Structure 1
Amino acid sequence: MAEAFPHIDFRREVTIGHLLADYTTASGLGGKVNPPLRDHACCKDERKFGEGEHRDDVFAVKSGFGGTEYLLAGLVSEGRRRGVPLGRLADLVTAAPARRYGLRNKGDLAVGFDADIALVDPDHRWVVRAEDSESSQEYTPFEGQELTVKVTDTFLRGTRVLQDGKIVGEPSGRYQSRPVGATG
């Protein structure tokens, strides 16, 4: 497409679900999704699957599942397995999206940028279990998958919001407006 239409800035989008799961690993119907996903699209078990006879009906199951919680650990785990340098992985989740969406105070550790920082333990192997999740979703298509790194702490604008893998404090996120005319 890029060769046929060089004047168009095509965007390619992939989610952590596309990287970590396929039809053989997506924990049954919990993995039903209609790409492209652009948001954390989770809902509780009864809204996703319904009740009674329709729980096993692929056409009745709602599309979408949450994946934000596993984004960084999944990307680094899978990226290292595939030989992607850590600097490139960091760019994929920080500077690249900030540039794409024109978020001038995001994506770098520098004066004038928000102090949004995630710390990972590069030697912490763990198995994804919905019951251990901070989400109220109650299921995950990544159930049973082993990840090789774990996010331990997260800072939002310099304030710790995740400590030792547990949410601390009150929600403090805010909508990030994309500047008019931003082209990335």
Structure 2
Amino acid sequence: MTTAILRRKDDLPRARAASRLTAYVYGNIIILATLLGLVHAGENPSEGAIVVLATGGTTLLAHLIADAVGHSTRAEVGDRRERTAHIEFLHELRDAVPIASAASIPAAILGVAALGVIDGETAQLVAEIVIIVRLAAMGFTVQRIRGERPSFRTFAAGVGLALIGVAISLLKASLGH
């Protein structure tokens, strides 16, 4: 199974792929910040899973509202541009889904801990590592969309993105909670 982000470069127009990648990176950074801000997830992983899912869902809603406002300013009533703006908004709706989907794996990991299968603190750590790995893999995804071969530069760019994502997440978690 391949995700929409990991499709071949010819499957999706580059602008739409870029929009999805933006949502993917943004969603993963927000979810990592949420995970880092969960002080007691180890004690109550079910609550942590709910917080992660709520963060992903509400961030998606905020993004969609912002996109709707942006697209409404481009449209002119009764004009062909209004229909075009509506179609573009539907594409943006689909392209924004990675914001919420970034929450799914960490929430599932915390959910497994809530069932008592693994320790809550371990689950939180694993969920954080999953997000960091997802960010680090972005270098390869970008190269694939560009049709370029992976290189050390690809790897370094992904690691750099992961480090930036961790720094932003730590900043948000420490200032925002």
TM-score (norm. length: structure 2)? 0.30
TM-score (norm. length: structure 1)? 0.29
1 or 2 for the larger relative contact order (CA 8 Å, sep ≥6)? 2
More strand by proportion, 1 or 2? 1
More helix by proportion, 1 or 2? 2
